[in-house]
Structure 1
Amino acid sequence: MTWFDRLTSFSKQQTDKLLHTYSSQIPSGIIRECPKCHGRFYYRRLGNMEICPDCGYAFRIPARKRLKILSSDVTEWDEDVVSTDPLSFPGYQEKLAKARKTTKLNESVWTGRVRLNKYLAAVGIMDPFFVMGSLGQATGEKLARLFERATEQKLPVILFTASGGARMQEGIHSLMQMAKITAAVTRHADAGLLYIVVLTDPTTGGVTASFAMEADITLAEPKALVAFAGRRVIEQTTGGKLPDDFQSVEKLQENGFVDEIVPRQNLTQELESLLALNQQRIWGAAI
């Protein structure tokens, strides 16, 4: 058996030793590095869920891949809603075209109706690979419509957040989406309907400052970054050094901002359980 065949069972120490010895012979992409623990390992050890085998960090994944993990019974909504270029920002159209080709999405969020077990929910999945999952006009429109349809159809909403914040190429048009989505979230809540958010890596900026923190139940994937301003910006402004766990979901849970941290492989089951409890609450109220 060659060193290549043994890679799947190699420990971190064995992998580091192999890289030191055979670095010039190993093809690009064979060895992956975790951005959290910096462990290096054979790429197949990530598995289909893309989870670090050493520390449990859930790698960033495209929206459509997350959708496949979640359910096979889906109906997409508002696929035709696309971004414009309101400020004629240099290079923006090219950036959007590249993002659409890479992610197979027309905007930074997928929205639709999804069946989890026997329960229906309106679902939004932000894509960190579409201009960093940034919040633009079209993203805001799709998310507002998601909550509005959910209110009309009396459906709970499940939203997976992943974003670098407001989209600078759209300026104030982007920032206005925070209030627009929040208004739709409020109407959904006023109708007595459930909103679950799943914070994934990264959730930052205007998304954190608005709808990511407005859910009835807040779940998160392990070791995800959740923040408003970036660490470097804060340190440069304050002149101080921030703790290593600053802006981690683990720290947020410790301080009451996150209800539960759920490993990616358990998320679907956890969401199904919450939807079942929610359905029982509705039936109980009706009786």
Structure 2
Amino acid sequence: MSRRPAREVVDAISTGFEEFTTPLREEPADGPIDWPGYREARSAAEERTGEKESVVCGTAKIGEAEAVVIAFEFGFLGGSLGQRTGDRIEAAFAHARDARLPVVSLVATGGSRMQQGMRALMQLQRVARAAARTRAAGVPQIAVLRDPTTGGGWATLGAGADVILALPEAQVGFAGSRVRPSGSPEAYTAEAKLEWGQVDAIVAADDLGTALERWLRLLTSPSNAAAPPPGALREAALPDTGWEAVQAARSPRRARADEYLDAYFDWREDISGDRCGGVDPGVRCGFGWRNGRTIAYAAQCGTPTLPAGFRTSARLVRLASRLAIPVLTLVDTPGAANDAAAEQAGAGGAIADLFEAVATAVAPVTTLVIGEGGSGGALAFAAPGSTWVTPDAYFSVTSPEAAAAILKRPASEVPALANQLRLRPQDLVQLGVARAVVSPAE
């Protein structure tokens, strides 16, 4: 599918494709900078592909979801972006805004059209502006990275999309294969971009239509109602002491985030990574389907949260808020990662980013504390005034062990300090931190 003709790719994932009738601007025979042989190259590309430009745009149904589709024809001058390409993409985004339809970009391009010089490169500004206006209008955008996705196509339609899917082994990178430094070809693959938090998922070509249908359904189902907090997944009595609460939250028998998410949603799709080089395997983010509507989620999985985890969660909260989708967050961490690597990766700024995303969210955010609630690294995930807690969880300004270290107390006093910290579920309700202790799930 990566190098297949654009219309074949569209037909493989959708039905009823109707191409837009975008007028083609008049151009000098050899282009705006009189490139020798450009006229012949264009004519050969038209004859070879049957297309008039490097991109085909229209509307189609992907499953039951209607979308605007932007499909690159790599056989037409390497899928390069020229002036007429910009015309078509700009018109496609305008239609998406007017019709309130999501945009699916099937990208396969070598970058800007060299034979048009700076007039071609300037199309990236047009594409970026059109995508930004569409984003501001609350219209979701999904990119599918085919082979290759390089240059400005990657740096605009690809990397700028709300959700980024990639075909296996697709070449992805800002630098094309003929101009990049020698060595490390694996860095320019979809798999590397997934590992580095720049792609949300790799999808086999045969599964692409199904994956797109699920994502379109999730991203186009706004709701004003807040997500209800999940019920507790383990029968547990409220702890008598703070130390009992800490031990219950740290028990290996306690339910974790994945179990809560699987019980809460009919089905779900994860996003991955902070888009700037990092992935935290201890944080789950994505969108799930529950009782006929979409709810976004950002869940800690019991490990110290890395800067990438905070940034990915902030990305999730902002996207959900822009699309009017409610958010569920699950708190479960001993605290933010605080080693040298976390500091170098900007732990403070990442935590601040999530605090801001939650504080400014337009869509409602609901929080359930399901395990350890360790200090600010946990609080960044919590919604003020809309936080619940399970019976086998705690929330504290710091861990009892850290409190002992700060106060220069012996380890023998840790249980007593846990009591003094008032961190039990019932204490959190009394202090106004949590609204209630949730009952067992039905």
TM class by shorter-chain length? 0.7 to 0.9
Deviations 1:229-282 (A, max 9, x none): 2355343xxxxx532412000000000000000000000011111111123236
Aligned equivalents of 1:168 and 1:76: distance in 2? 27
For residue 265 of structure 1, what is the amino acid of its counterpart?
D
Q: What displacement does 1:141 show? A: 1.0
**Other-structure match for 1:65:** 8
Which ranges of 4 or more aligned residues in structure 1 deviate by more than 4 Å?
Answer: 282-287
SS in 2 for 1:267: helix
Instruction: Decide whether aligned partners of structure 1 residues 273 and 232 sit closer, same or farther in structure 2, where only a CA change above 3 A counts.
Output: same
What does residue 32 of structure 2 align with? 86
- The structure with the largest helix share of the pair is 1
Q: Look up the SS of the partner of 1:246 in the other structure.
A: helix
Equivalent of 1:150 in 93, 96, 99: 96
Q: Does residue 44 of structure 2 align to residue 98 of structure 1?
A: yes
Contact (CA 8 Å) 2:11, 2:17: kept in 1 or not?
Answer: no
Partner of 2:203: 262
Can you list the C-alpha shifts for 1:161-206, whole angstroms capped at 9, x where unaligned?
Answer: 1111100110011011001110010110001110000010001112
Aligned equivalent of 1:77: 20
Q: Which residue of 1 aligns with 2:66?
A: 120
Q: Which has the higher contact order (CA 8 A, sep 6+)?
A: 1
Name the CA distance, whole Å, in 2 between partners of 1:137 and 1:232. 23
CA RMSD of aligned residues (A): 2.0
Deviation at 1:79, TM superposition (A): 4.8
Cα deviation, residue 283, structure 1 = 8.0
TM-score in terms of structure 1 length: 0.74
After superposition, give the CA deviation of every residue in 1:103-161 in whole Å (9 maximum; x if it has no partner).
11110000001111221100000011000000100001111111111011111000011
Tell me if structure 2 keeps the 8 A contact 1:92–1:169: yes
Q: Does 1:281 align with 2:222?
A: yes
- For residue 247 of structure 1, the aligned residue among 188, 209, 218 is 188
Percent of aligned positions that are identical: 36
Q: How many residues align?
A: 225
Q: How does 1:230-241 map to 2 (within 5 A)?
A: 230-231=176-177, 233-235=179-181
Kept in 1, the 8 Å contact 2:63–2:209? The answer is no
The answer to whether the 8 A contact 1:82-1:106 is kept is no
Q: Using the alignment, how far apart are the partners of 1:282 and 1:221 within structure 2?
A: 31
1:188 aligns with 2:131: no
SS of 1:81's partner is coil
Instruction: Say which SS state the counterpart of residue 187 (structure 2) adopts.
Output: coil
Aligned pair partner of 1:178 in 121, 124, 135: 124
CA apart distance, 1:71: 2.0
The normalised TM-score by structure 2 is: 0.49
Distance 2:150 2:97 in 1: 26
Question: 2:63, 2:210 within 8 Å by CA — same for their partners in 1?
Answer: no
Q: Is the 8 A contact 2:2 2:167 kept in 1?
A: no
Amino acid at match of 2:112: A
Q: 2-side partners of 1:283 and 1:132: how far apart? A: 44
Q: Unaligned stretches of 5+ in structure 2?
A: 226-323, 327-442
Compared with structure 1, are the counterparts of its residues 72 and 246 closer, same or farther at alpha carbon in structure 2 (3 Å cutoff)? same
Q: CA deviation at 1:83?
A: 7.0
With 81-90 and 69-78 compared, the bigger mean Cα shift is at 81-90
Please point out which of 149, 165, 172 is paired with 2:111. Answer: 165
SS at 1:257 equivalent? coil
Cα distance, 1:286 vs. partner? 9.8
Q: 1:211 to 1:67 in 2, by over 3 A?
A: closer
**Structure 1 segments unaligned to the other structure (5+ residues):** 1-57, 236-240
Q: How does 1:221-232 map to 2 (within 5 A)?
A: 221-231=167-177
